[in-house]
Structure 1
Amino acid sequence: MSQKFSYAVHATDGSARLGTISTPRGDIRTPAFMPVGTAATVKAMRPESVRETGADILLGNTYHLMLRPTAERIDRLGGLHRFMNWDRPILTDSGGFQVMSLADLRKLTEEGVTFRSHVDGSRHHLTPERSMEIQKLLGSDIVMCFDECPALPADEMRVAESMRLSMRWAQRSRDAFGDRPGHALFGIQQGGVTQHLRAESAEKLREIGFDGYAVGGLAVGEGQEAMFGVLDYACDMLPEDRPRYLMGVGKPDDIVGAVKRGIDMMDCVLPSRSGRTGQAFTRRGVVNIKNARHQDDPRPLDEDCTCPACRSYSRAYLHHVFRSQEIISSMLLTWHNLHYYQELMGDMRAAIGQGRFAAFEAQFHADRADGDIERL
């Protein structure tokens, strides 16, 4: 097992890349999907079960953990890995996304952001330096720079100002992170959907120098076509010998399109959140288990899936426990969705390695176009 952080590309197919990120806590096979464990838990899942789905790495949330139970408490209890019983790599976001999503609870200055907690209204000051301190206390393996990201659409001047502030914060994050062998710091490219701003951001990040690079500021309201338009050029602006992480994405077709364009890592709450709201992702698209058509259906969600929900339970049962608001519904549907996402990543890794990504992509879209199995 590697004692330092490194990245290797094993094969490419067009812009799609097959690789491995090596860390002291284990290897991450790329392209990788990171389940989101916001408050030190992937909702409705045991960490062992998340690992069984094939996940190599989880994401933890700086903002939520700093509010409760606090980073200092987690540090006293042995760090986030021990606290949540996950011994493999963890990436922590910087709190920057909440800067955007909690705009009505915050005050933004050059120094940083003052938040009002959504939990109890208490005031907190988050700066690049404090974000680095919190993520160090948590003990995460991959640390994200503190950044600011405007919701789209936004005018170019607002996007440019925000991007340049994020680049100044990126330098401060790098300085505060210091030298931490075995831990990685990722810079975050900003610039909205404007190519020259993305180029300016990438140039500044390369000048500072990071262990990996994220494409930030997408999946914030611009739509898939615009997102893919940015990814068509954004990946090429970033160093080839470092992992590229698309933050907060997404739906299965978003993920396939992002990998096609050169993205190595993604995260999203969608598979777990959708599981809790009765939506299951399958090769043939999304199944809404709450629909009455499933109430007498003895067949599994997906007969080719090997997850516990599909191996042992019928659509009729899954419909019943969802309608009855039983906890097992969230457990089974979340497990299924995370299993589906990890299987999708594995299929893409195999396709890239065998030089058949275009054929994989065509089959992926054809299967989804077929729609769900015929109702009984």
Structure 2
Amino acid sequence: MSSPFSYHCEANCSHTHARAGTFHTPHGPVQTPRFMPVGTLANVKTVTPDQLATTGAQMVLSNTYHLHLQPGEDIVAEAGGLHRFMGWSGPMLTDSGGFQVFSLSQIRTITEDGVTFKSPKDGRTIHLRPETSIEIQNTLGADVIMAFDECPPYPCSREAVQASTERTGRWLKRCMTAHQRPDQALFGIVQGGVYPDLRRQAAQDLANLDLPGYAIGGVSVGEPPELIETIVQATAPCLPENKPRYLMGVGTYREMAQAIAAGVDLFDCVIPTRLARHGAALVAGERWNLKNQRFRRDYTPLDATCACYTCQTFTRAYLCHLIHAKEMLAFTLISIHNITELIRFTQQIRAAILADRFAEEFAHWLAPSPTLDP
């Protein structure tokens, strides 16, 4: 039986490794390169599925660890699976819980068998093994599921990173054995810290397994931006050309543009909704603090070039008012815009690749930056 998953490259940049393609899934295609909104607990914060669809979102993420804690994968399955549970009909991806190995380092213990957590909700002990992660994800029912991995911190010694990366490779093989659903694509994750040779070796080891797709993990964990670029440039070209490549946890303009130049197709990050909850909007490559008094009497759209509901309906003054009045609608409206903005950015890059003008039109973002970008 043929796989319901495939990746087709439609165009390559003549000056970089950038490419435009389509990733086919059982719940529809994903045109790449593409930014994917994060819905950790089966919802993109403050945004309804209908509103999310208007942003241009094609693929949405949820998190295995958090859904296991609440409401539990059995409840999601009884509701008809993750798509029906959250009312999203498009492609979905679930993270394995591997990032929580990094982010919850104070309440977890790692062994060869897996990771033991102390639940931050009720204090109970949770033992997450590669097999457990896959079983939970098989039950949740997303289109793409991620292998359980160990994400080392930054900084971390070469010896520790090498041991961690080798463990991630062993865990991947256990994940492959445990995986039971052909209608779900299991992606492997390349680790290796900030050491390019470890990254290249891990990428080659994963490529030899002929998985449906590949992710680059363990970036944006505290290392400076220039190291992220080095890691991605060393890793992405080593991954198979006929499979999608996903850079986990990255969603800034410059980092996405540079990763696309290295051959990456998919991105996710909580930035657009997190910034919205702090009253910040992404506009034309900049981060605007809408609490600023200069917006109080600004009756122009947030971004006149943006077709999102927020920009077509409301003014900067209204958004500023909502924020100062502590109205929750502010979070929704700014989230809609921010998500649209990052998806629009990757759509513009896709169009430039198809026209073979990516290196020229996005030269500003491909050049090193002396300052932090939004």
TM-score (norm 2): 0.95
Shift in Å, 1:287: 0.8
Q: Which residue of 1 aligns with 2:154?
A: 152
Match status 1:174 vs 2:176: yes
Alignment of 1:90-109 (within 5 A): 90-109=92-111
Alignment of 1:1-376 (within 5 A): 4-13=4-13, 14-178=16-180, 180-362=181-363
Describe the superposition over 1:339-372 as per-residue Cα deviations: whole angstroms up to 9, x where unpaired: 1111111101100000000122136689x99xxx
Does the aligned pair in 1 maintain the 2:253–2:365 contact within 8 Å? no
**Matches of 1:148 and 1:364 in 2, distance apart?**
31
**Matches of 2:123 and 2:199 in 1, distance apart?**
35
Return 5+ residue gaps in structure 1 as ranges.
370-376
Count of residues in correspondence between the two structures: 366
The DSSP-based 3-state class of the residue aligned with 2:353 is helix
Counterpart residue identity of residue 313, structure 2: S
Describe the superposition over 1:110-154 as per-residue Cα deviations: whole angstroms up to 9, x where unpaired: 000111111121111100000000001100100100000111111
**Matches of 1:66 and 1:265 in 2, distance apart?**
25
Q: How much is the aligned-residue C-alpha RMSD, in angstroms?
A: 1.7
Does the aligned pair in 2 maintain the 1:174–1:208 contact within 8 Å? no
Describe the superposition over 1:299-353 as per-residue Cα deviations: whole angstroms up to 9, x where unpaired: 2211111212211211111111011110110010000001111111110110000
Shift in Å, 1:254: 1.2
**Matches of 1:38 and 1:67 in 2, distance apart?**
12
**Matches of 1:308 and 1:234 in 2, distance apart?**
38
Shift in Å, 1:247: 0.3
Shift in Å, 1:284: 4.5
The DSSP-based 3-state class of the residue aligned with 2:121 is coil
Are residues 81 and 284 of structure 1, via their aligned partners in 2, closer, same or farther at CA, if it must alter by over 3 Å? closer
The DSSP-based 3-state class of the residue aligned with 1:287 is strand
Shift in Å, 1:232: 1.5
TM-score (norm 1): 0.94
**Matches of 2:214 and 2:221 in 1, distance apart?**
18
Identity %: 45
Counterpart residue identity of residue 7, structure 1: Y
Are residues 203 and 111 of structure 1, via their aligned partners in 2, closer, same or farther at CA, if it must alter by over 3 Å? same
The DSSP-based 3-state class of the residue aligned with 2:38 is strand
Q: Which residue of 2 aligns with 1:374?
A: none
The DSSP-based 3-state class of the residue aligned with 2:334 is helix
Counterpart residue identity of residue 161, structure 1: A
Q: Which residue of 2 aligns with 1:373?
A: none
Does the aligned pair in 2 maintain the 1:283–1:364 contact within 8 Å? no
**Matches of 2:131 and 2:182 in 1, distance apart?**
19
Describe the superposition over 1:241-285 as per-residue Cα deviations: whole angstroms up to 9, x where unpaired: 111100000212211111111100010000111111111001141
Does the aligned pair in 2 maintain the 1:3–1:24 contact within 8 Å? no
The DSSP-based 3-state class of the residue aligned with 1:39 is coil
